[in-house]
Structure 1
Amino acid sequence: MLENFDDLLTAEEACEVLKIGKNTLYELLGAGTLKGYRNGRVWRVPKQAIVEYIKTQAKLN
């Protein structure tokens, strides 16, 4: 699933992987539910943060 992406995903790529809209992504990032950081005005989301978020939401941990 994530093999085609770099270690850091853009907001658009993260939306594509999670199949959510940008507003939802920004809400998750702002609340700290999904880990990421801002580089200027651009959000970057580590691939590992996406994996951890999915595991947490699916209660796989």
Structure 2
Amino acid sequence: MGKSNISQKDAYKLMLKEYPDIMTVEQMCEVLGISTKTGYRLLREKKICCLKVGRAYRIPKAHLFTYLCIGGEETSI
């Protein structure tokens, strides 16, 4: 599969405009089309970087683009 030619900055402006810059787990799962159980597993396994505020996870939209390999190289954690 080919590499995306869109920059992360352009993707940020064009994609997921209706979602906030900092998403909840439910919003992230809706975007990815996965269950919340799978979403929490991705966060626990640190496949998607997130912030934990109290007991709640918050996922910056930029981190979701990184996970999807849009506009940058995949990084290993």
The verdict on a shared fold, with TM-score over 0.5 as the criterion, is yes
Amino-acid identity (%): 34
C-alpha distance in 1 between matches for 2:51 and 2:37: 16
C-alpha distance in 1 between matches for 2:63 and 2:32: 12
Q: Which amino acid aligns with 2:47?
A: T
Partner of 1:23: 37
Once the 2 structures are TM-superposed, how far is the Cα of residue 2 of structure 1 from its aligned partner? 0.9
Once the 2 structures are TM-superposed, how far is the Cα of residue 6 of structure 1 from its aligned partner? 1.1
Q: Which amino acid aligns with 1:44?
A: R
C-alpha distance in 2 between matches for 1:5 and 1:54: 16
RMSD: 1.6
Is the counterpart of residue 51 in structure 1 residue 72 in structure 2? no
Give the alignment's TM-score, normalised by structure 1: 0.84
C-alpha distance in 2 between matches for 1:24 and 1:39: 20
Q: Which amino acid aligns with 1:32?
A: K
Partner of 2:18: 4
Q: Which amino acid aligns with 1:10?
A: T
Query: Higher relative contact order by CA 8 Å / sep ≥ 6: 1 or 2?
Result: 2
Bigger strand fraction? 1
Which residues of structure 1 form unaligned runs of 5+?
A: none
Work out which of the two has the higher radius of gyration on C-alpha atoms and give 1 or 2.
Answer: 2
Which residues of structure 2 form unaligned runs of 5+?
A: 1-14
